[in-house]
Amino acid sequence: MIVFLLNSYIAILVALMWLKIVPNSLFWKLSPLLVLALLLVGLFIPMGWGAPAGAAIVVRQSVAITPDVAGEVIDVPVQPNAPLKAGDVLFRIDPTPYAAQLHALEAQLALAETRLGQMIELARKQASPEFNVEQRQSEVDQLKAQVEGARWSLDKTSVRAPADGYVTNVALRKGARVSNLSLSPAMAFIDTSETLAVVELQQIYARYVEPGQKVELTFKYLPGEIVTGKVEAVLQAIASGQAAPSGAAVAPKALEAEPFVARVKLDDPAIAARLPAGGVGTAAIYTDHVKVSHVIRQVVLRQEAILNYVAPF
């Protein structure tokens, strides 16, 4: 944009000199350098504070699906990237051992309740001490808890979607054995209930960014289009500022001004649903400072939106 404005000034200046409206003096010959300095200092450098821009990416929460019980997979009804509702079955584990355990515990519970009733009757007739009743009651309570846990395990053999979304890269097949260890998830579930854009901001330009400010974005996936949103938050920590506990002293290292990250909520839910996770682009945030620079930033962003038709990177 600065090149366009400078070239426009030079073209106008040459035309005025040719028409002899402006004298062909050394001052006017050097004036483009002065205009360049004024554009940099008076407009384009402050534009970084008033309308900072940065790379943007579409993010969605990913849930590593790890079953609560282990066993052999007997059914995988989902298709890759097919829309799912919360509660839809992702895959089923063979319920036979869990059903057998539940039936065994229910039989023990029925016997224990019968024995408890007999002990209560004997205690009423003073043919047995109260201690025996309390002991039988304790056994019944323990078995009820075990039955509840076994019923929960049996229900968990059907692994269900935690929210609205889809499963990507479905490699799980019938006959595979899955475990309930968090280090070996069976699927990656993408939650589509919320779509956010994450914008990188250089630290020097992030100080005036606040929640609620207007944001315009253009994505490679939607060339020529401008998407609007609002700043939700500027994350108050990045990895380089995180102090992890360890037994070692601080190790000196070269410090760099890593960019901060702002979360942006898109205004149009339909567009948010269209954008794939990982879609990249550019975003501009319009702060309450140097508002005269907002128009220039809007023009620059729309130029980039048009260039997205031909620029692959």
Do the Cβ atoms of 89 and 159 come closer than 8 Å? Answer: yes
- 283 beta partners: 54, 217
Do the Cβ atoms of 9 and 35 come closer than 8 Å? Answer: yes
**pLDDT at site 241:** 76
Do the Cβ atoms of 283 and 222 come closer than 8 Å? Answer: no
Q: Looking at the structure, tell me whether residues 200 and 184 fall in a common domain.
A: no
- The listed range with the strongest mean pLDDT (134-138, 187-191, 248-252) is 187-191
Q: Looking at the structure, tell me whether residues 299 and 213 fall in a common domain.
A: yes
Q: Looking at the structure, tell me whether residues 202 and 162 fall in a common domain.
A: no
Residue 13 lies in a domain: yes
Q: Looking at the structure, tell me whether residues 264 and 200 fall in a common domain.
A: yes
Task: Answer whether residue 190 shows pLDDT above 80.
Answer: yes
Q: Looking at the structure, tell me whether residues 99 and 38 fall in a common domain.
A: no
Tally: H helices and E strands in the chain: 7, 13
Do the Cβ atoms of 171 and 76 come closer than 8 Å? Answer: no
- 75 beta partners: 92
Residue 161 lies in a domain: yes
Residue 306 lies in a domain: yes
Residue 75 lies in a domain: yes
- 4 beta partners: none
Q: Looking at the structure, tell me whether residues 155 and 203 fall in a common domain.
A: no
Q: Identify which of 287, 282, 288 has the alpha carbon closest to the alpha carbon of residue 302.
A: 282
pTM (2 d.p.):
0.74
**pLDDT at site 40:** 67
Q: Which domain holds residue 10?
A: 1-42
> Structural domain tally of the chain?
3
Residue 247 lies in a domain: no
- Gap between the Cα atoms of 39 and 27, Å rounded: 18
What confidence tens digit (pLDDT) does each residue in 117-149 have?
Answer: 888 887 777 766 776 778 888 899 999 999 999
Residue 301 lies in a domain: yes
Mean pLDDT, rounded, of the chain:
87
- Gap between the Cα atoms of 264 and 283, Å rounded: 10
What is the CATH number for 68?
2.40.50.100
What is the CATH number for 299?
2.40.30.170
Residue 85 lies in a domain: yes
Q: Looking at the structure, tell me whether residues 105 and 139 fall in a common domain.
A: yes
- Gap between the Cα atoms of 302 and 296, Å rounded: 10
Q: Looking at the structure, tell me whether residues 112 and 77 fall in a common domain.
A: yes
- Gap between the Cα atoms of 225 and 227, Å rounded: 6
- Residue 286: band (very low, low, confident or very high) from pLDDT cuts 50, 70, 90: very high
What confidence tens digit (pLDDT) does each residue in 195-237 have?
Answer: 889 999 999 898 899 999 999 999 999 999 999 999 999 888 7
Q: Looking at the structure, tell me whether residues 19 and 36 fall in a common domain.
A: yes
Residue 288 lies in a domain: yes
Q: Looking at the structure, tell me whether residues 153 and 95 fall in a common domain.
A: yes
- Gap between the Cα atoms of 12 and 259, Å rounded: 40
